Chain A
Amino acid sequence: MALPRLLTLPLIGRNPVTVQILGICSSLAVTTSLETAATMAVSLTVVLVLSSLIISLIRRHLPNSIRLIVQIVIVASLVIVIDQILQAYLFAISQRLSVFVGLITTNCLVLGRTEGFARSNPPGPAMLDALGNGLGYSLILVAVGAVRELFGQGTLMGLTVLPTVDQGGWFTPLSLMLLAPSAFFLLGFVVWGLRSLYPEQQEAPETEPPSVAEART
């Protein structure tokens, strides 16, 4: 595959969240505001790119029997480092992200890319692919985060866009937007929209329901 395609394909055409439905848990948990969603997106992209690079570098010397544990250990260490950096330099946001930065380790997207791509490709393409997937994930996270913050609190990045009733404005915040189910709904709408626009993303039904004739006529 051509190198630029590695970067652009995961943005829409093979988006890890909407097409492969990977990394859903974090996209529900951290998208209550744009700021946390963006921080999480950047953290995940950095972890993904670095772990892809390291695993791609050692790919020829990775024993098959322990390859998964080696990958997870590398990913987990990078996640801890990122978490420590956030706690040191972005303290306020790291408090709001709490455990979810740590949970990047178990994000299926990261292990999916290292196991599925970086393990069998040289460092350059592996990093490009990781960056593309990270950006694809970020795109969805930032979009969902922006919608949830705008309609849940009437703000964007903490700045008031729609003045709420509490502050003497006209906008009544939708509390549902701040709860996890709303992320499910929004994500569902995004998937629906994308698959209507790009029919090739639709999966073939696994089973056809049998056609049943009326028993009594």
Chain B
Amino acid sequence: MADLNPIRAWQRLLAQPNDSRGKTVLVAVLTALFCTLLVSGATVVLRPVQTANRAAETQARLEALLAAIPGMSEILEASEDAVLGTVVVDLDRGRAAQGITPGTLETALADTANWTALSPEEDVAGIGSRPDFAQIYLLREGGAVALMILPISGAGFNGAIDAMLAVNGDMETIAGIAILSQSETPGLGARIEEPAWQASFAGTRWQDASGEMRFEVARGRAASEFEVDGITGATRTSSAMERIVRFWLGPKGYGPLIAAVKRGEF
């Protein structure tokens, strides 16, 4: 009769020569099992903390962005009606998305049908495909839009750059920018995180009277109302920022939405 005692069976397995087929498979399976438990355990246990970290990070950047925009904190403090609202917008139609809330946005974007593939000519920001929906923040003052905060992203020199761009209520000038994440060269490209550089966005226009995209990151100091300062030694990052802003304020980005807000439809 076969010996069914598990302890003795285990000892028999361990006593096998190391290079026997059975033991090789056993060691492989046990290692895989042990490592699976280790990795999934760590991920599951730590996920709530990580999600909270990311949310806190985004909130802090958003608050810093608002605080850095001249006059914004006064508006927030002065009137009771001034509230920062969250809206999910449909980028192509330029209006609030039907049936998608900030809570369900993540689920909606998991579906590839809600993404638009960009042709190489359209894809100036280097993102490949663009989500059809985005969560934006609107600051209203007495019904009118005083400020619109738009999440933007694109390919930088070393990796993706995620940012928030604030547009003034006139829908013609940029109010400010905040970088959410980037992996540019420390001390050079990574200086896009410095408030001193971000300050040069305030008041910059991106279109001329004919509606043509004119936004540029200058080489050196900004010379016109369409330019922001360049970063010395970070030409590639500067041009990446220029392309990202141009894309997201253009017709494939938030262009339709901005036009709609300008017409007063929002």
Contacts and interface: CB of A to CB of B under 8 A. Distances in A.
Interface stretch (A3-11, A135-143, A172-180, A204-212): A172-180
Contacts of A175: 187-188, 233
Given A66-B28, A73-B32, A80 B42 contact: yes
Contacts of A63: 18-20, 23-24, 27
Interface string A18-34: 00000000000000110
What interface size band does chain B fall in? 20 to 34
Contacts of A66: 24, 27-28
Interface stretch (B46-54, B145-153, B164-172, B242-250): B46-54
Contact of A84 (B14, B20, B28, B43): B43
Interface stretch (A85-93, A108-116, A120-128, A187-195): A85-93
Contact of A74 (B35, B186, B233): B35
A84 B27 contact: no
Q: Is the interface of B mostly helix, strand, loop or mixed?
A: helix
A153 interface: yes
B247 to A, nearest CB: 24
Central interface residue in B24, B31, B43, B185, by most chain A CB within 10 Å: B31
B42 A85 contact: yes
B39 A74 contact: no
Interface in B17-67: 18-20, 23-24, 27-28, 31-32, 34-35, 38-39, 42-43, 46, 49-50, 53-54, 57
A174 B183 CA distance: 20
B198 interface: no
Nearest to A78: B38
18 contacts: A61-B14, A63-B19, A63-B23, A64-B18, A65-B19, A66-B24, A70-B31, A73-B31, A73-B32, A74-B35, A77-B39, A84-B43, A87-B46, A87-B50, A88-B46, A91-B54, A96-B186, A178-B186
Interface of A: 32-33, 58, 60-66, 69-70, 73-74, 76-78, 80-81, 84-85, 87-89, 91, 95-96, 98, 152-153, 173, 175, 178-179
Interface of B: 14, 18-20, 23-24, 27-28, 31-32, 34-35, 38-39, 42-43, 46, 49-50, 53-54, 57, 159, 181, 183, 185-188, 233
